[in-house]
Amino acid sequence: MRKATTAALTAATLLVVGGYYGLADALDLVPGPLTVAAADYPIQPFPTPAAGTLVSAQAAGLSPDAPVPSDGVLTRYADALAADSLVGTGKVGVSVIDVATGEVLVDRGADTPLTPASSNKVLTAWSVLSVLGADHRVSTTATLSGSTVTLVGGGDVLLSADAGKPGDTVGHAGLGDLARATAEQLTAKGVTSVSVALDDTLFTGPAWNSAWEAGNEAFVAQIQPLMLDVTAHHNSGSYPADPAMEAAQTFVTRLGEAGITVTGTVARAASPADAVELAKVESAPLEDILKVSLKSSDNTMTEVEGRLLASAVHQEASFEGAAAAVMSQLTKDGFDVTRTVLLDSSGLAVGNKVPPRLLAQVIARAAGDSGGTTGRTLLADLPVGGLDGTLNERFVGAAGEGTLRAKTGSLDQSASLTGTVVTQDGRLLAFAVVVDGFESGGLTAARTAIDKDLAGPLAACGCQG
């Protein structure tokens, strides 16, 4: 009952937002079953705020005349967060922007570069959508040169091991379908026996980021352009050692089942220039893929998305190239990336440094009249308070349930929240809050403080003075 009620409230709220803030298109605002996922990282159970700490508020309904909250009152919320013993030694950065006017309502340390954790994914998502478009799909292809069939990875890491599922995002394209279509073409050519090669050359450089701390193997796979459904391993610590080769071996198995004899072992090699395409399968559109990766905070998917961006803009499709491509696109789109340092696309690297101001500005643009399809898609794909994704268990029965949608961020010493919130008076605000540098083991406390001192009060705010 709680989720159904919240879903209805969220959809209704954002459709009203659409009438004024440029979100009027029919969005897939109520996430489907694929978006319900566990939190970014295994942590302690999130504590339920004490009764009365967060007052549940029904949004009054959005309109251009909705009262603008007092910047003084909102700044006091940010000050309370910074002074809260729950954040310990952590540095606090907060930016709050009124979406309708672009006015900055809170700027508390907002220009200070801090480790954003998975709020970093907001920057990647905006950039990828801006360049590739919400309807972009990636292909997995089989080619033939001589008697060698080459499986060419195009960036789909949600592949089904057998038949694709056209109505789903995860498993939309199937290696079994590709193998059977390939076998049909080979048979038509009179070919019954082949060798198989794997072309995973779309991505370059190391498959593992040296900026990631030891132990992160539980939260991200080796970054390759071809994988069987990577979400099956999300935060499980059981990612395959060589995901692309695992997919190639599955393709070989399916070819054999389809009547084609495969000789020898799979070798890594680029598809030759003279190779002809035999068959291909396509992923779900990018807007649906992002809905999975953003709501579940999937690090592998986001790193792949960053490399697809780099490839599209003719940067090296490596960690460095992806980070450079994100920075370049943000700059091209008019954002000030001064003092921003990106070492990856997902936010796993502690060395990432992003001013909260930049995060809030991206969200404010996305929610505003100029956000376009890029902005509408980004917002629709974020987790919703008390409903789904990494916010499934936060803001339940409290202010922000169904009216706050945001990207979470969680590292051992950094916590963040970046998104939009509707105040009790019906004003749409974009916000970003980062708490960075608290003592190891303080993540749950920092997240509690963010919700108790800032995010919840923003949602409950009827505060004009």
Q: Which residues pair with 430 in a beta bridge?
A: 97, 420
Going by the DSSP 8-state scheme, the letter that residue 438 receives in this structure is P
φ/ψ region of 294 (left if φ > 0, alpha if ψ in -120 to 50, else beta) reads alpha
CA distances from 216 to 213, 230, 323, 328, 377 (A): 6, 15, 19, 27, 29
**Residue 191, burial from CB neighbour count under 10 angstroms (0-12, 13-18, 19+):** middle
Helices (H) then strands (E): counts for the chain: 12, 13
Catalytic residue among 95, 119, 121, 296: 121
Contact 411, 115 (CB under 8 A): yes
**Catalytic one of 130, 283, 296, 297:** 297
455: which DSSP letter? I
Q: Is 297 a catalytic residue?
A: yes
Beta-strand relationship, 226-228 and 148-152: unpaired
Q: Tokens 């696109």 identify what position? A: 329
Which residue reads 């999975």 in tokens?
292
Give me 227's structure tokens: 């994988």
Specify which residues 407 forms β-bridges with. Answer: 418
Name the catalytic one among 95, 118, 296, 345: 118
Is 118 one of the catalytic residues?
Answer: yes
Cα dist. 303→139, 155, 306, 373 in Å?
17, 10, 5, 22
Closest by CA position to 241, among listed 229, 227, 255? 227
Q: Which residues, listed in sequence order, are joined to residue 429 by a DSSP beta bridge?
A: 98, 421
Q: Give the rounded distance of the alpha carbon of 77 from its chain centre.
A: 28
Q: Would you mind telling me the total number of residues written for the chain in this entry?
A: 465
Q: If we measure between CA atoms, which residue out of 296, 309, 416 comes closest to residue 353?
A: 416
Residue 121 catalytic? yes
Q: How far is CA 438 from CA 87, 215, 346, 406, in A?
A: 6, 19, 21, 22
Q: Work out the number of other CB atoms within 10 angstroms of the CB of residue 340.
A: 22
Question: Which two three-digit tokens encode residue 172?
Answer: 């939309």
The residue to which tokens 């195009």 are assigned: 154
Q: How far is residue 99's CA from residue 116's CA, in Å, rounded to a whole number?
A: 22
Cβ count near 323 (within 10 Å): 26
> Which positions are catalytic?
118, 121, 297
